[in-house]
Structure 1
Amino acid sequence: MPKDFTVVIADEQTNGRGQMGTTWQGEASKNLTFSVFKDVSFLKVSEQFYISMAVALGITKALNELRVPKIKIKWPNDILSENKKIAGILIENVIKNNKIEGSIIGVGLNVNQKFFDNLPHASSLHLLTGIVYSKDEIFHRLLKHIERQLELLETGDLDALKKEYEAILFRIKKPSTFKTPDNQTFSGFIEGVTDDGKLKLLLEDNIREAYDLKEVQLLY
């Protein structure tokens, strides 16, 4: 196993993987892509979504410090600014004998990219603020906040972490449209997430349901 908080940074991502097999489009040298190994053996398998929440909060705190406008988390773990996707997180947990040993956390952030072909919902820090950023400075700021939030998993209050994550969820408590894998659409209100990362929805007739990533996609 790698040492706790080992970080690998990629200068160019040739085959970025997003959730559910989608590809992450990155323009060489304009963006930031890195992975962090974190020992999370203190968490239960049922608590693994808290890793995702902690990382998303770390990124939002770093971006808020940089005064990037209107940061939201689009469930489960895309980071939006002005309703455009600027970052994604992909987490792969190492589970043995029903125990989590470690987590490989991949982060992709669009920094100075100017053009996104056929990606109407994508943007970059540069497009949103007009500033040309030092990737190095952004990287160290992100890392500091991600590390701080991950430490809170062990020392902090998981309920408080979840409340903070839910408070900045994209479309929380707003009527939203969802799509099922067979392309059916339906409406509901996002109420929050379950401990294991399912999306809690209030549907018609006051029915409450929780859906995982394979069951439902939140549309913009």
Structure 2
Amino acid sequence: MKIIKLDATDSTNSYLKTLLNKDSVDDLTVVISKHQKNGRGRNGSIWVNDPSLNLAFSIYKKFENLSVSNQFYLNIISSISVFELLKKYKVQQLTIKWPNDIMTANKKISGILIENNFRGSLITHSIIGVGINVNQAKFKNLPNATSILNKTGFKNSLDDLANDLIFIFKRNLNNFQSKINTLSSFYNQSLYRKNIKTEFIDNQKKSIIGEIVSVDEKGILKLKKLDGHYKNFMENEIKMKI
């Protein structure tokens, strides 16, 4: 296992992808940066962070027989790993916002971006990127963001957090397919706004109001609509309105 520490980079995920294009990369290689200048989130969103205050982290994982149909397993594992880390650092009221943002109360404290490489029906490797707001107190133009500092009142070492997160990821990625039922159950128990009336926006900009019932192991969200009917959605079909 190799750990690469950087003062700054555009994106830790992009840095790992550049390494992969140049040479072979050891399984579970980790890239950590004090400053991520162009951090990326899901659907092209940008993660804005102040230098040396937050954790930008990416881990590379090889697979031999992980089916494309089971790719949401990685969302489950990654979300739970970050959830565990934040719980260890005394952050309260933690939930997982489908598919893989971590919330505390109604504010986002961490985001995850997973980029997979496919060969036929298998995933050959993944790069799991994690951004955690750690010691930043103010978030300009981001009213729904918060940090470990804001929630606990304590500053923390980014190196300590990174080491703890590496340990948790290594443990959870070990033979995870045999533990997926337990992990999926925990993921569902921890869902943000589960069984609470919530507004979503679909791809046609139409409003959908309903209650989250569950998320299955393929990542499909089951929603109970106001008329009592149930409908399933994939993650690229609707977005929660906060």
User: Under a length normalisation based on structure 1, what TM-score does the superposition of the two structures give?
Assistant: 0.95
Deviates more, 1:210-219 or 1:50-59: 210-219
Name 1:169's counterpart in structure 2: 191
Name 1:143's counterpart in structure 2: 166
Q: Which whole-Å deviations, capped at 9, do the CAs of 1:103-127 have from their partners, x for residues lacking one? A: 1000100110111111010011111
SS at match of 2:90: coil
Q: Which whole-Å deviations, capped at 9, do the CAs of 1:31-57 have from their partners, x for residues lacking one? A: 110110012333211000111100110
The percentage of aligned residue pairs carrying the same residue is 37
Aligned length: 219
Alpha-carbon RMSD across the aligned residues, in angstroms, is: 1.3
Asked whether the 8 Å contact 1:111–1:133 carries over to 2, the reply is yes
Given the alignment of the two structures, is residue 212 of structure 1 paired with residue 207 of structure 2, yes or no?
no
1:160 is matched by which residue type in structure 2?
A: T
User: Under a length normalisation based on structure 2, what TM-score does the superposition of the two structures give?
Assistant: 0.87
Name 1:90's counterpart in structure 2: 113
Q: Which runs of 5 or more residues in structure 2 are unaligned?
A: 1-23
Given the alignment of the two structures, is residue 65 of structure 1 paired with residue 88 of structure 2, yes or no?
yes
Q: Which whole-Å deviations, capped at 9, do the CAs of 1:52-75 have from their partners, x for residues lacking one? A: 100110111111111111111111
Name 2:210's counterpart in structure 1: 188
SS at match of 1:79: strand
1:219 is matched by which residue type in structure 2?
A: K
Q: Give 1:181 deviation, angstroms.
A: 2.5
Asked whether the 8 Å contact 2:83–2:94 carries over to 1, the reply is yes
Name 1:33's counterpart in structure 2: 56
How many Å separate the matches in 1 of 2:228 and 2:100? 27
Runs of at least 4 residues off by over 4 Å: none
How many Å separate the matches in 2 of 1:182 and 1:35? 33
Given the alignment of the two structures, is residue 48 of structure 1 paired with residue 55 of structure 2, yes or no?
no
How many Å separate the matches in 1 of 2:113 and 2:64? 19
Larger RCO, structure (CA 8 Å, separation 6 or more): 1
